[in-house]
């Protein structure tokens, strides 16, 4: 495989996905209005770049296209407690496993099996059930907790990513959540969707564009760093997904009509590419996906992609490069840095046509 003058080795080399990013371009707060974020248009066929604002996204959609949203809801998954001896503890809930939770804890080395964590102003105790195979990973259970969801909602904080160098604030409860979030389960927002407003979605519908929803609960698989020098050695952690029958039928119908399926975010891409069957079309199903998409992947389920600007060397950037081409993607990122676009969760967006 050759691409834009790069050989196969470069496409699979982790170094090819690194770029210079000034710290001040990492967005610490969202835009004042969701759809006032900037939007960089990338035409895959020509490599042409165009500067727009996110509310212009409707100009690039056509009647009978289908816009696919991830309706997962971020839970306030970051909890602060202490050991009975007084040492401070931070817990990041990852996902529910039966009656227990997979979590990341700090400081991990002091929290072995049987350790207990208490929370200020509460009788609830979190007990470490076992250690997990990921660094800092623990399986924990809550004791003395009559309503777990209510406890997490009251005691938890929005799990802002580590590159946002501030504590979570009240504004994040609303802004680190898409307006169409419905099903609890994510520990990070599907950030491409953060730019949509009710008014913008109404404009999209009035143009005759279909709106479909899927669920992928964002967990460790999405934000775990890629350490493998040859990216093909990277293994994704599995995440829960669900596609219902209405969505599957709508997407299959869109494909039959020859119209575009537009994925809002990499989580939607991974979900749709997981459930698509070349003979039967889109299938209604739920389960766990560990699909890792990188250059060389043959896309079957989507035609266009709306996505934020991602971390250097991340699996998300590799997915974008697989869709748009590595050289076009990295050129777009260089341009975005040059033009002072805002990066990551609260940053600006790209629409790849």
Same structural domain for residues 241 and 93?
no
For residues 286 and 141, membership in a common domain is answered with no
Is the domain of 274 the same as that of 208?
A: yes
**b/e per residue 164-192 (b: at least 16 CB within 10 A):** beeebeeebeebbbbebbeeebbbbbbbb
Instruction: Work out the pLDDT band at 104, boundaries 50, 70, 90.
Output: very high
Domain match, 143 and 119 both: yes
pLDDT of residue 223: 65
- The whole-number pLDDT of residue 218 equals 93
- The backbone torsions φ and ψ at residue 251, rounded to the nearest 5 degrees and listed phi first, read -70, -40
Specify the number of domains making up the chain. Answer: 2
Cα separation, 345 vs 262, in Å, equals 20
3-state secondary structure of 240: strand
* The pLDDT of residue 5 is above 60: no
Please tell me the least confidently modeled range out of 73-77, 95-99, 291-295, 322-326. Answer: 95-99
State the pLDDT at residue 248: 98
Range of the domain at 123: 78-155
**45: which 2 tokens?**
């066929």
- Hey, what long-range contacts does 44-49 have (CB within 8 A, 24 or more apart)? 44/323, 44/324, 44/325, 44/328, 44/352, 44/353, 47/328, 47/331, 49/331, 49/332, 49/335
Q: How sure is the predictor about 221, in pLDDT bands with cuts at 50, 70 and 90?
A: low
Q: Are residues 67 and 85 in the same domain?
A: no
Q: Is residue 225 part of a domain?
A: yes
Q: What is the pLDDT of residues 115-166, one digit of tens each?
A: 999 998 899 999 999 999 888 999 999 999 989 999 999 999 999 999 999 9
CATH number at residue 102: 2.40.10.240
- Quick check: 6 pLDDT over 70? no
Question: Is the predicted pLDDT of residue 3 greater than 80, yes or no?
Answer: no
Closest CA to 27 of 226, 236, 231, 310: 310
Q: State the average pLDDT over residues 92-117.
A: 91
User: What CA–CA distance (Å, rounded) separates 298 from 77?
Assistant: 35
Query: Do both 141 and 195 map to the same domain?
Result: no
Say if residue 92 is in the same domain as residue 60: no
Question: What pLDDT is attached to residue 113?
Answer: 92
pLDDT in tens, 231-261: 999 999 889 999 999 999 999 999 999 999 9
Confidence of residue 1 (pLDDT cuts 50, 70, 90): very low
* Dihedral of the alpha carbons of 150, 155, 160, 164, in degrees to the nearest 10: 160
- pLDDT of 222 over the 80 cut: no
Under the banding of pLDDT at 50, 70 and 90, the label for residue 2 is very low
User: Does a structural domain hold residue 168?
Assistant: no
Considering the domain boundaries, does residue 3 fall inside one? no
64 Cβ partners below 8 Å, 6+ apart? Answer: 208, 209, 210, 254, 257, 259
Domain containing residue 348: CATH number:
3.40.1780.10
pLDDT level of residue 48 (50, 70, 90 thresholds): very high
Last residue of a domain, one of 125, 155, 185: 155
Q: Tell me what pLDDT residue 4 has.
A: 41
206 and 266 both lie in a single domain: yes
Least confident of 15-19, 222-226, 241-245: 222-226
pLDDT at 9 over 60: no
Residue 42 has pLDDT above 80, yes or no: yes
> Which residue would you say has higher pLDDT here, 49 or 120?
49
Instruction: List, as one string, the DSSP characters of 305-324.
Output: EEEE---TT-HHHHHHHHHH
Indicate whether 166 belongs to any domain: no
Same domain, 102 and 197: no
Contacts of 187 by beta carbon, 8 Å cutoff, 6+ apart = 74, 75, 77, 92, 93, 94, 95, 159, 218, 219
Cα–Cα distance for residue pair 271/331, rounded to 1 Å = 27
Together in a domain, 199 and 279? yes
The neighbour count for residue 74, using CB atoms within 10 Å, is: 23
Residue 163 lies in a domain: no
- Our separate counts of H helices and E strands in the chain read 9, 19
Are residue 95 and residue 185 in the same domain, yes or no?
no
Is the pLDDT at 326 greater than 60, yes or no?
yes
pTM of the full predicted structure?
Answer: 0.93
Distance CA 49, CA 328 (A): 10
Triad 103, 104, 106: Cα angle to 5°? 135
Domain-embedded: residue 183: yes
Check whether residue 112 and residue 83 sit in a common domain. yes
Report DSSP letters for 337-352, one per residue: HHTT--BSTTS-EEEE
Task: Tell me, yes or no, whether 210 lies in a domain.
Answer: yes
- Residue-level pLDDT at 237: 86
Average pLDDT over residues 56-78: 97
Asked whether residue 239 is assigned to any structural domain, the reply reads yes
Rounded distance between C-alpha atoms, residue 341 and residue 217, angstroms: 27
């Amino acid at each position: 495989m050759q691409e834009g003058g790069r050989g196969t080795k470069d496409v699979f080399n982790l170094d090819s996905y690194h770029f210079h990013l000034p710290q001040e371009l990492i967005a610490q707060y969202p835009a004042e209005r969701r759809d006032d974020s900037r939007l960089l248009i990338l035409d895959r066929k020509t490599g042409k770049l165009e500067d727009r604002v996110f509310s212009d996204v409707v100009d690039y959609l056509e009647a009978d296209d289908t816009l696919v949203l991830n309706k997962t809801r971020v839970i306030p998954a970051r909890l602060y407690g202490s050991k009975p001896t007084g040492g401070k503890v931070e817990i990041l809930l990852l996902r529910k496993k039966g009656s227990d939770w997979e979590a990341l804890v700090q400081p991990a080395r002091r929290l072995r099996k049987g350790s207990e964590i208490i929370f200020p102003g509460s009788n609830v105790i979190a007990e470490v059930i076992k250690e997990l195979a990921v660094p800092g990973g623990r399986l924990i259970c809550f004791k003395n907790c009559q309503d777990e969801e209510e406890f997490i909602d009251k005691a938890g904080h929005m799990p802002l990513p580590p590159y946002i160098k501030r504590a979570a604030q009240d504004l994040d409860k609303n802004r680190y959540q898409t307006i169409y979030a419905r099903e609890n389960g994510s520990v990070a927002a599907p950030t491409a969707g953060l730019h949509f407003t009710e008014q913008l979605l109404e404009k999209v519908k009035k143009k005759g564009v279909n709106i479909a929803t899927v669920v992928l609960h964002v967990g460790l698989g999405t934000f775990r760093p890629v350490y493998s020098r040859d990216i093909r050695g990277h293994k994704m952690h599995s995440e829960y997904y669900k596609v219902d029958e209405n969505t599957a039928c709508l997407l299959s119908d869109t494909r039959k009509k020859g119209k575009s399926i537009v994925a809002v975010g990499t989580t939607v891409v991974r979900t749709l590419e997981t459930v698509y069957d070349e003979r039967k079309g889109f299938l209604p199903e739920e389960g766990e996906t560990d699909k890792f998409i990188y250059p060389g992947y043959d896309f079957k389920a989507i035609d266009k992609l709306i996505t934020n600007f991602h971390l250097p060397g991340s699996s998300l950037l590799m997915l974008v490069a697989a869709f748009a081409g590595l050289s076009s993607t990295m050129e777009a990122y260089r341009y975005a840095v040059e033009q002072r676009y805002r990066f990551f969760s609260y940053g600006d967006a790209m629409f790849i046509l």
